[in-house]
Amino acid sequence: MGKILARDGEHRDKEKLIDLIQEVASCTSMKRPKEVAPISTILTKALNRHQRFQREAAAAALSEFIQHSDGLPSLLEHIVEAMCLHVSDESPTVRSLCLRGLVQIPQSHMSNYIAQVLGVIVALLEDPDESVQLTAVQCLLSVLNSSPEDAVNPILINLSVRLRNLQICMNEKMRSNAIAAYGALSKYGMGSQHQAFLEQVHATMPRLILHLHDDNLTVRQACRNTLRKLAPLIEVDGFSTIFNKQVFSSERRGDYEDFIRDLSRHVHQQLSPRVDSYLAALIQAFDSPWPVIQANAIYFSSCLLSLSEDQRSLAPYCSQVFAALVNKMTRSPDAVVRSSCSFAIGLLLKAFNPLTCTALQLDRLDSSRSSFLE
């Protein structure tokens, strides 16, 4: 322990300091296990100190000591109670450390506390601090593998909604973890909440398809894994097979577009009642902060529209999409967006009544030109 202090004792960085405190706590647990209980008792009281750095130091040590409380049930209960009280601390660091400690409860005791731990995670998924939200998502991933259905089912939809909100975060690590956690929820999707969770899956599906070709590799991989896990829940013959094709796993944009065309056919053939809601979600994504996601949404929506046999029912979407396509094709600075717009307009002109769609296009184009000249 002395060597650790000599090595890093003067390091001021908060993360390094927390790592140091946890390393000292781990060393103490192994070298002087009898000291863990009295030190932990002191530290739980230190969580009430006025100085933020004192509370952060106490939370850092306790989050390590909790792993070594297997044979001390009364001490474990005391630490858990203290940590649960301080997951609402004003310090984001304390909130994160308390949650990290709670998911480190020894497996032999976790069943007694899992409902409590999951409740904390649900609350912190909506924390105002993004770093705490990310901690909550990561902790959710770590406990879902061992969480029983009766603990997850009551909060399944709540978790689903909160994770969906985090899947469009600008932070790439948050996006990938939130998407991965959504996939982990799939194992609970066939229980008592099946129908409600299925609605959540369909609400999330367009977004996952779009981020399947995200700029970030980790996000793309998370989408692939999650889509493969969610597909069986849809319970449509042959639907899962499209997520096992080579084009689904490919990194090439051309293969992604082939996959989108194939998926669009399956959606029309097997999930036709969902076409409207999918289109509505895709049109919203036209305003995504990521150009590649805009391009993906344009491509996917035009494929869905072009395959429609009931043109009258989708006419409002056609009008909306054409207006957006013409606007983006003339104004977007991103080549991938303009290219998708060009493809989409050509595809829709062929698929719909040529005169109607041409008139729509020309009206929108005239309007755009007038606005541009102004």
Q: Which residue stretches of 125-216 are H helix?
A: 130-144, 149-152, 156-166, 172-185, 194-211
Residue 320, domain member (yes or no): yes
Instruction: Give the mean pLDDT of 7-21.
Output: 70
Alpha carbons 184 and 143: distance in angstroms, whole number:
10
Taking only the tens place, the pLDDT of each residue in 223-264 is: 999 999 999 999 888 788 999 999 999 999 999 999 999 999
Quick one: 15 exposed, middle or buried, by C-beta within 10 A (0-12, 13-18, 19+)?
Answer: exposed
Asked if 220 and 211 count as a contact pair (C-beta separation under 8 A), the reply is yes
Residue 91, domain member (yes or no): yes
Taking only the tens place, the pLDDT of each residue in 348-362 is: 988 876 545 444 444
Whether residues 131 and 249 fall in one domain: no
pLDDT reported for residue 16: 84
Q: How many domains does the chain have?
A: 2
Give residue for tokens 């939130």: 178
In a 13 Å sphere around the CA of 244, the CA atoms on its Cβ side amount to 7
Taking only the tens place, the pLDDT of each residue in 80-135 is: 999 999 999 999 999 999 999 999 999 999 999 999 999 999 999 999 999 999 99
Asked if 93 and 18 count as a contact pair (C-beta separation under 8 A), the reply is yes
Asked if 73 and 36 count as a contact pair (C-beta separation under 8 A), the reply is no
Residue 168, domain member (yes or no): no
Closest by alpha carbon to 310, among 344, 268, 347, 279? 268
pLDDT reported for residue 72: 83
Whether residues 244 and 128 fall in one domain: no
Instruction: Give the mean pLDDT of 331-347.
Output: 95
Alpha carbons 247 and 2: distance in angstroms, whole number:
56
Residue 155, domain member (yes or no): no
Residue 79, domain member (yes or no): yes
Q: What is the domain-level CATH number for residue 4?
A: 1.25.10.10
Q: What is the domain-level CATH number for residue 245?
A: 1.25.10
Whether residues 362 and 252 fall in one domain: yes
Residue 298, domain member (yes or no): yes
Whether residues 240 and 346 fall in one domain: yes
Residue 198, domain member (yes or no): no
Any idea what the Cα angle at residue 158 is, between residues 243 and 229, rounded to 5°? 15
Whether residues 127 and 249 fall in one domain: no
Whether residues 2 and 130 fall in one domain: yes
Whether residues 25 and 128 fall in one domain: yes
Which residues span the domain enclosing 272? 235-374
Residue 161, domain member (yes or no): no
